[in-house]
């Protein structure tokens, strides 16, 4: 039996939220996805509100993952404590609100989803994700295990992929908002892509108005970042997993763009 997981790149601002509302259910149906995981940490550009989380769930997401902007909107804290389907990085300090991984029941049995954050070139340095994942895996007894690594460095994501190859079903990266062309099945059977990309403004710099990013790099006096207007895109990857082995059989991009 096959189990299909749709992983959707970082949702950015109102344009990203609009695209999720319009397109996620269609994409889920069109790909035959059994389970949908969406990164929502940039829904408010920096952070996500409870209302935005509810909208993403209503659009068809089964789990929402976060990253270094998890606590950008503090009103999310109480919501995180009450919602098992919203995950923040598991390698945050143990006293941090929320949870970093979960077990979810599906028609194919139990599915584990783990959210991690990288440490290379990131503003915030949580615990070592390579050591944290080992602790979590010891607690799991399901074959269907999906890991997101929210990280800047491609090398960190690749290293994690190879370390977990054959031990989990799939691993994908988020955070850079730029889709990578390396969808693959690693030698021992784990599905992998370095970065999913993003969901939001197509004509932008990582979802932000180009002129604002240009001004920052020029050294000009800048204003607060704002999302770009215009056409939007949804970038995602579909992982097809054999439920008998827990290993990946297929990895493909399933992007939507205006």
Q: How far is CA 168 from CA 142, 147, 160, 164, in A?
A: 10, 8, 11, 6
The pLDDT, as a whole number, for residue 223 is: 76
Q: Looking at the DSSP assignment, which residues form a beta bridge with residue 248?
A: 241
φ and ψ of 166, to 5 deg? 85, -10
Question: Among all residues, which ones are annotated catalytic?
Answer: 69
Q: Beginning with the edge strand found earlier in the chain, give each strand of the sheet holding 232-234 in spatial order.
A: 10-11, 198-201, 232-234, 256-257
Average pLDDT, the chain: 96
74 pairs with which residues across the strands? none
Percent of the chain with pLDDT over 70: 100
Average of pLDDT values for 21-28? 97
Q: Give the pTM.
A: 0.96
> For residue 62, what are the CA distances in angstroms to 155, 156, 185, 198, 256?
29, 27, 24, 18, 20
55: domain range?
A: 2-257
Asked whether residue 74 carries a pLDDT value surpassing 80, the answer given is yes
Q: Tokens for 137?
A: 């895996």
Domains identified in the chain, total number: 1
> pLDDT: is 216 or 168 the higher one?
168
* pLDDT for the residue 129: 97
| Burial status of residue 41 (CB atoms within 10 A of its CB: 0-12, 13-18, 19 or more) | buried
The whole-number pLDDT of residue 27 equals 97
CATH number, residue 91: 3.60.21.10
So what's the pLDDT on residue 225? 80
Report residue 224's pLDDT band, with 50, 70 and 90 as the boundaries.
confident
Identify the H or E element spanning 172: strand 170-174
Mean pLDDT confidence for 119-143? 93
Mean pLDDT of the region 40-47: 95
């Amino acid at each position: 039996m096959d189990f299909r997981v749709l992983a959707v790149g970082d949702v950015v601002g109102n344009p990203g939220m609009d695209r999720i509302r319009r397109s996620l259910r269609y994409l889920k149906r069109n790909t035959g996805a059994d389970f949908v995981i969406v990164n929502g940490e940039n829904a408010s550009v920096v952070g996500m509100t409870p209302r935005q989380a509810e909208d993403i769930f209503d659009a068809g997401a089964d789990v929402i993952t976060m990253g270094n902007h998890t606590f950008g909107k503090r009103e999310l804290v109480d919501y995180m404590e009450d919602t098992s389907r919203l995950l923040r990085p598991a390698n945050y300090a143990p006293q941090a609100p929320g949870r970093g991984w979960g077990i979810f029941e599906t028609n194919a049995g139990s599915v584990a989803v783990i959210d991690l954050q990288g440490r290379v070139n990131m503003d915030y340095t949580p615990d070592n994700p390579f050591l944290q994942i080992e602790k979590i895996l010891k607690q799991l007894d399901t074959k269907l295990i999906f890991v997101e690594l929210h990280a800047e460095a491609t090398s960190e994501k690749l290293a994690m992929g190879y370390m977990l190859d054959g031990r989990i079903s799939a691993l994908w990266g988020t955070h850079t908002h730029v889709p990578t062309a390396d969808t693959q099945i690693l030698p021992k059977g784990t599905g992998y892509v370095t970065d999913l990309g993003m969901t939001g403004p197509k004509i932008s710099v990582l979802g932000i108005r180009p002129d604002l990013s240009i001004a920052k790099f020029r050294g000009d006096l800048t204003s607060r970042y704002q999302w770009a207007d215009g056409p939007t895109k949804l970038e995602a990857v579909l992982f097809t997993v054999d439920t008998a082995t827990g290993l990946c059989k297929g990895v493909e991009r399933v992007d939507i763009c205006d």
